Amino acid sequence: MHFKTVILTLVLTCLTGTLVFAQGTKSREDIPEQYKWKPEHIYASIEDWQKDMDFLKTTVDDLAAFKGRFAGEKAEDPAQSLIAYNDLAEEAWKKFERTWTYVMYNSDVDLANSVWTGRLQQLQMMAVDYGQKLAWVDPELLQIPQETMHQYIAQNPKLEAYRKAYDDLYARQEHVLSEPEERILALSGNVTGTSSDVYGKLTDVDMRWGYILDENGDSVEVSDASWVTWRANPNRRVREDFFKTLFTGYKNYGTTMAALMNGNVKKNVYLAQARNYENTLQAALKGQFIPEQVYTNLVETARKNTAPLHKYNEVRKRLLGVDALRHWDYYVGVMDLPEERYTWEQGVAMVTDALKPLGQQYTTDITSGLNPGSGWVDPFTSQSKRGGAYSSGSYGTHPYMLYNFDYDKGLSLDDVSTIAHEVGHAMHSYYSEKTQPFPNKDYAIFNAEVASTTNEAIMNHKILEQARQEYKKAKGEAKKLAKQKLMALLENNISGARDTFYRQTMFATWEWEVNKMAENGQPITAEALNELYLNLYKEFQGPVMEFTDLSAVEWSYIPHFYRGYYVFSYATSYAAAVALASDIIAESQGDKKKKGAADRYLAYLASGSAKHPVELLKDAGVDMTTAAPVEAFTQWFGAMVNELDKLSTEK
């Protein structure tokens, strides 16, 4: 069992929510009990949690004692030793997941409580301890010839569940180091994250940007976290002031930001070279069995198909009625969607109704999980609660979903879409755990966003079709309102697709180029990073968008660059999800050519890591090693832009 993998997975799950306290007006006590998740489903008490912690503290040495029993002179019965090791390691892994998630769920609804923070730090240190004390495992396993390992498996059915894990290890053999080297790399985990840690502390705690006046003349403090809200403010002067104040702050720290990014990419180069990879991209993808062509196809095909995005910017400029489309106009909506608010129960009903094409069992399962009394969900924001939304879980417990909706105002349409997104993640975990043996229960990050985004795509299709029918049937004044609603929904879908696909692909392109600069020994300076970023911005967004020098420093605002070739998976997942959703919807409407689309997709959700990530998507119906899904996505995007353009110009 690889505890460095466990800790990475759990930490990345944490980061899907922002690290900023949710600014709710209600205290936790003011939220009704049925709208709070139940960590007590994991442990009934902190004493029960401590028992598993005590087990984990001693078990690491029990596992380390297996050294020499798989291969070498002491290895009298390697197959039985492997079985015994796996049994104990599985138990430890399960308990580690449970102890971690229990603390995380209690911490995330009360970030002001330092006791839970301290317990998370305990678990992080424990993961490092496991990593360095068990660094010998992979090198020793590789002393067993693969044919011999297959004989062990054939003679001992209890090893069958580990066949893929062992074969994957042999496939990575050239990148597995000796035991002393593996131990050194495990210990280096305490320092290789320094750039990321310092960046987080600098931007979350130390940096201050100053103040602006809002549309009412009131003073407002500028922060990077609140840019997400203020960038969509209807008042253009306010957006401009906020943008300039925020990114002037980042520009003023340009030398420091460049030094942190330099340390970040040099860490990537160090780890790639240490493990004998040709470059950082290969190091990031090969270990996950993702062909490099998936990444290169995405970048190259998207760059060839930016015309629909350029046209969208032309339509936005016309609808906004501005002399020039500036960076601070990027996020503001061009059409007002009539305000509608929903209760949690109404939002859940909308989600389950939209997802009927996935079948009765799927809708039954999500209805049960989203029932507030189930203990799976924590929907509403409160003081000191982690912001954002995520889904997570641990083996042997149900999934948990955190949201941050306004209890008093109710849910917006975007909030309802977020329900669909996170429950997609939850079902992916739920079905994989129910179906796969323990070693294959977890799915790759590359596959994770497909499950959530497919749900959103199916739901958005239904909402758009309903709006199209309403517009078609409406007359007189009602037709004007129906048209406004349809245009607003179209624009919302287009802008979401733009941000998740084109913008993330632009990020992926920048990240790739910066890593290549480090590989080639080129200086990583603020000037070089800014120039590269601004040039890519202009290429992707086209001639209608006009940028200032401050736009060039936006890279320093993006924390995902410290996660190493991660952002591309948002774009590939979106393209795959649109293709899968289209087939599922077509099947539900009677298209015989798409027969079996929903069943293939549900099988994908239940596959965990039974196959490599790209192969699982192929089985579901999408081949991301080709340009076809990306090209199809840009055509789908372009069709929505053309529809919005037509609606906006017709009398």
Q: Model confidence at 192, in pLDDT bands (50, 70, 90)?
A: confident
Highest average pLDDT, of 59-68, 118-127, 557-566, comes from: 59-68
pLDDT at residue 193 in the model = 86
Report DSSP letters for 91-159, one per residue.
HHHHHHHHHHHHHHHHHHT-TT-HHHHHHHHHHHHHHHHHHHHTTTHHHHHTTS-HHHHHHHHHH-GGG
Q: What is the mean pLDDT of the chain?
A: 92
At 78-97, the pLDDT tens digits run: 999 999 999 999 999 999 99
d(CA 313, CA 498): 11
pLDDT at residue 18 in the model = 38
Whether the per-residue pLDDT at 73 is higher than 90: the answer is no
Tally of CB atoms within 10 A around 180: 11
d(CA 388, CA 15): 9
Lowest mean pLDDT among 12-21, 575-584, 615-624: 12-21
d(CA 593, CA 480): 38
At 44-61, the pLDDT tens digits run: 999 999 999 999 999 999
Q: Which whole number is the average pLDDT over 153-176?
A: 95
Whether the per-residue pLDDT at 353 is higher than 60: the answer is yes
Tally of CB atoms within 10 A around 609: 21
Residue type, 334: V
pLDDT at residue 74 in the model = 84
Inter-residue contact 429 to 399 (CB < 8 Å): yes
Inter-residue contact 330 to 398 (CB < 8 Å): no
Whether the per-residue pLDDT at 105 is higher than 90: the answer is yes
d(CA 600, CA 619): 7
pLDDT at residue 111 in the model = 85
Token pair 């192969």 is at which residue? 615
Q: Which whole number is the average pLDDT over 159-185?
A: 91
* For the chain, percent of residues with pLDDT exceeding 90: 84
Whether the per-residue pLDDT at 433 is higher than 70: the answer is yes
Inter-residue contact 97 to 75 (CB < 8 Å): no
Q: Model confidence at 5, in pLDDT bands (50, 70, 90)?
A: very low
Whether the per-residue pLDDT at 229 is higher than 50: the answer is yes
Whether the per-residue pLDDT at 21 is higher than 60: the answer is no
Tally of CB atoms within 10 A around 353: 11
Whether the per-residue pLDDT at 3 is higher than 80: the answer is no
pLDDT at residue 8 in the model = 39
Which tokens is 548 given? 């200032």
d(CA 347, CA 509): 37
d(CA 359, CA 371): 19
pLDDT at residue 13 in the model = 41
pLDDT at residue 441 in the model = 95
Whether the per-residue pLDDT at 247 is higher than 70: the answer is yes
Residues known to be catalytic: 422
pLDDT at residue 77 in the model = 95
pLDDT at residue 326 in the model = 96
Cα 54 from chain centroid? 32
Inter-residue contact 227 to 558 (CB < 8 Å): no
At 251-284, the pLDDT tens digits run: 999 999 999 999 999 999 999 999 999 999 999 9
On the CB side of 169, how many CA atoms lie within 13 Å of its CA? 19
Distances (CA, A) of 628 to 63, 560, 632: 47, 27, 6
Which tokens is 630 given? 């990306």
Contacts of 22 (CB under 8 A, 6+ apart): 381, 382, 383, 384, 385, 386, 387, 404
Measure CA of the first residue to CA of the last residue in the chain; give whole Å.
65
> Which residue(s) pair with 390 in the sheet?
402
Q: Which whole number is the average pLDDT over 446-464?
A: 95
Whether the per-residue pLDDT at 6 is higher than 70: the answer is no
pLDDT at residue 10 in the model = 44
Contacts of 589 (CB under 8 A, 6+ apart): none
Token pair 């424990």 is at which residue? 126
Q: Report which of 532, 575, 546, 561 is spatially closest to residue 305, judged by C-alpha positions.
A: 575
**417 three-state secondary structure:** helix
pLDDT at residue 25 in the model = 58
Token pair 């879980």 is at which residue? 393
Whether the per-residue pLDDT at 2 is higher than 70: the answer is no
Inter-residue contact 403 to 378 (CB < 8 Å): yes
Whether the per-residue pLDDT at 608 is higher than 90: the answer is yes
pLDDT at residue 280 in the model = 97
> Which residue(s) pair with 219 in the sheet?
213
Helices (H) and strands (E) in the chain, counts: 26, 7
Sketch out the chain's domains with CATH numbers.
Answer: 3-195 (1.20.140.70), 219-274+277-338+444-651 (1.10.1370.20)
Supply the DSSP symbol for 638. H
**Buried/exposed 92-119: b ≥16 CB within 10 Å, e otherwise:** bbbbbbbbbbbbbbbbbbbbeeeebeeb
The whole-model pTM stands at 0.89
Which tokens is 19 given? 């690290």
Whether the per-residue pLDDT at 374 is higher than 70: the answer is yes
At 528-545, the pLDDT tens digits run: 999 999 999 999 999 999
pLDDT at residue 546 in the model = 94
Token pair 């015989």 is at which residue? 592
d(CA 447, CA 444): 5
Residue type, 496: G
Q: Model confidence at 445, in pLDDT bands (50, 70, 90)?
A: confident
